[in-house]
């Protein structure tokens, strides 16, 4: 997993739960990398699992809620760093439709070894769209947070619902985005 995801996570967790608390947490986790992340590095995804699990134990906030909250934060940071991807699209659903075929394609050019999910828009109406999330990393809640943050950018009010299922290709999550009119 890319260092930028780790550095953003530490930044977010530090402002939410306290800098000293997060420093102690990193020490206690005894991570193979030592926990000194840089945005340009690449680290084992397992370290993120260790950190989020430990943070959940320490704070009593569920892993799902922690990952979702981090997704909202990360979305804001992506908006600042990669503003063009937002400005190129006219609406939230256009933006979400562009993640698979444009944004993550460009991300892969920037970071050759990026580990990205598949995010296909499997249905789209005026007020409802469904994104099908597939990944070994089970970060559908991160996607849900990123969607929520993109909705804020496009001034759209949405409800994001999650449906986990399985087919011949493996497990997936259908993320339903409903515009509240
Ligand atoms: C400007 C917009 C975006 C940028 C620049 C971006 C970039 C990235 C980057 C750099 C990673 C990390 C790859 C790695 O660790 O190797 C990532 C992962 C991910 N992205 Fe995006 N992304 C964007 C928008 C979105 C949106 C809107 C969604 C959801 C609809 C999304 C869903 C995810 C998820 C869930 C992951 C975690 C990896 C996984 O689940 O397998 N991204 N993205």
CATH number of the domain within which 168 lies: 3.90.1520.10
Pocket test for ligand 1, best of 72, 146, 148, 174 (most atoms within 8 A of CB): 146
Q: Measured from the CA of 79, which atom of ligand 1 is nearest?
A: 1
Residues 175 and 93 grouped into a single domain: yes
Same domain, 102 and 44: no
Q: Count structural domains, the chain.
A: 2
Same domain, yes or no, for 101 and 154?
yes
**Is the CB of residue 135 less than 8 Å from the CB of residue 141?**
no
| The pLDDT value given to residue 124 | 98
Long-range contacts of 159-168 (CB under 8 A, 24+ apart): 164/140
Å from CA of 166 to ligand 1 middle? 22
Residue 181: is its pLDDT beyond 90? no
Q: Give 107 Cα–ligand 1 centroid separation in angstroms.
A: 8
Q: 21-56: per-residue pLDDT in tens?
A: 999 999 999 999 999 999 999 999 999 999 999 999
* Domain span at 173: 89-179
Q: Tell how far the Cα of 77 is from the centroid of ligand 1, in angstroms.
A: 12
Output the pTM of the full model.
Answer: 0.96
Looking at the structure, tell me whether residues 94 and 171 fall in a common domain: yes
| CA 168 vs CA 34, 106, 130, 134, 165: distances in Å | 39, 29, 19, 12, 11
Q: Please tell me whether residues 94 and 34 are part of one structural domain.
A: no
Name the token pair of 141. 């809640």
The binding-site residues of ligand 1, defined as CB within 6 angstroms of any ligand atom, are 1-2, 4-5, 78, 82, 85, 96, 99, 103-104, 107, 114-117, 119, 131, 135, 137, 139, 142-143, 146-147, 150
Domain membership flag for residue 84: no
Classify residue 76: in a domain, yes or no: no
Mean pLDDT within 136-143: 97
One domain for residues 57 and 107: no
pLDDT of residue 112: 85
The verdict on residue 73 lying in a domain is no
Last residue of a domain, one of 14, 44, 61: 61
Q: Could you tell me if residue 118 is inside a domain? A: yes
Two structure tokens written together for 65: 């809620």
At residue 92, the pLDDT reads: 98
Query: What count of Cα atoms within 13 Å lies in the side-chain half-sphere of residue 55?
Result: 28
**Average pLDDT, whole number, for the chain?**
97
Residues 94 and 32 occupy one common structural domain:
no
Banded model confidence at residue 130, pLDDT cuts 50, 70, 90: very high
The answer on 104 and 174 residing in a single domain is: yes
- Residues 86-127 have pLDDT tens digits of 999 999 999 999 999 999 999 999 988 899 999 999 999 999
């Amino acid at each position: 997993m890319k260092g930028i995801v780790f550095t953003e996570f530490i930044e977010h967790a530090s402002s939410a739960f306290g800098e000293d608390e997060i420093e102690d947490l990193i020490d206690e986790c005894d991570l193979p990398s030592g926990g000194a992340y840089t945005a340009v590095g690449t680290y084992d995804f397992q370290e993120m699992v260790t950190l989020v699990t430990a943070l959940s134990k320490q704070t009593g906030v569920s892993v799902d809620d922690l990952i979702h909250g981090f997704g909202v934060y990360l979305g804001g940071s992506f908006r600042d760093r990669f503003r063009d991807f937002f400005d190129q699209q006219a609406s939230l659903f256009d933006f979400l439709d562009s993640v698979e075929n444009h944004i993550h394609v460009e991300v892969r050019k920037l970071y050759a070894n990026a580990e990205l999910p598949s995010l296909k828009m499997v249905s789209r109406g005026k007020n409802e769209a469904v994104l099908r999330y597939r990944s070994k990393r089970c970060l559908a809640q991160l996607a849900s947070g990123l969607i929520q943050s993109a909705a804020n950018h496009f001034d759209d009010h949405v409800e994001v619902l999650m449906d986990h299922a399985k087919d011949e290709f493996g497990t997936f999550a259908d993320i339903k985005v409903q515009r509240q009119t």
